[in-house]
Amino acid sequence: MRAFLCALLGVVLAPVIGGLLCGLDRRISARIQSRVGPPLIQPFYDLAKLWGKERASTELWQPFCAAAGLAASASAAALFFSGGDLLMIFFVQAAGSVFLVIGALASASPYSQVGGQRELLQMLGYEPLLILVVVGLGLAAGGFGVGAVLGLGEPLLPRLPLLFAVLVLILGVKLRKSPFDIAASAHAHQEIVRGVHTEYSGPYLAMVELAHLYDIVLILGLCALFWACAWWAMALLAAAAYLAQIVVDNASARLSWRWLLGVAWLGGLPLAVANLVWLYAR
């Protein structure tokens, strides 16, 4: 019963937290650019506006893919908050990303096709790194359950510093921040056409955006697990990682997918493997 209540609480609170974080992101980005910026709750206004629009899609697959992607993201968040298995959480969230790509590639639009292909390349870059981070957390905690990490009683960051650096790299990709936003941008400072999101509209786009809010909270939750000995320390670590992404986003421009794969495979992969070897050697 306790796990069920925690899962339900996560499903309800995760999009609220994610929406507030997105609103804070817009405000900080606006101040960096010497603008006033939108209200803090602007993401919720945007979602309400999208939900009120007419249901229309260019392909029959898109409504299903939008709903399935939202269900996968919500399920991953529910598993995380209920103390579920990290490996299961990884595969569930990956399924949500796959559904987003399927919906984009189902359309004949060249912008949607390019966005879907870029999204696949991003997944090719960060998903192997993410599974290595999850494996590292599981090995260090002696179990792959979120409860095992929380019950460890000591911070994992001193033992997994390189894996945390890799997770921060993944965070930039999952948040769709520059210079990693090759499939779609979180802000309108790159291009008019939104890549993988181009053919989603109305309530279906609202589902995609809502799934993104779940993903934000999930990836920041993984960051927080690296210092899971105190709630304030977890919140502080996640906040620092999120703020760093905002600063980097406003200080850099989009780079090519070849650069992204190079950073992931030639930079992130050796760091992750080195940390796992060091952890095993200890």
Does the pLDDT value for residue 189 go beyond 70? no
Under the banding of pLDDT at 50, 70 and 90, the label for residue 188 is: low
The pLDDT assigned to 222 comes to 95
CA angle 182/162/32 to nearest 5° reads 50
To the question of pTM greater than 0.85 for the whole model, the response is yes
Does the pLDDT value for residue 192 go beyond 80? no
For the chain, what is the mean pLDDT?
Answer: 89
pLDDT in tens, 117-161: 888 988 988 999 999 999 999 999 888 999 899 888 889 999 999
Q: Residues 115, 113, 131, 148: is their CA dihedral positive or negative?
A: positive
The pLDDT assigned to 226 comes to 94
Does the pLDDT value for residue 186 go beyond 70? no
Does the pLDDT value for residue 52 go beyond 80? yes
The pLDDT assigned to 50 comes to 92
The pLDDT assigned to 76 comes to 95
Under the banding of pLDDT at 50, 70 and 90, the label for residue 193 is: low
pLDDT in tens, 195-226: 788 888 899 999 999 999 999 999 999 999 99
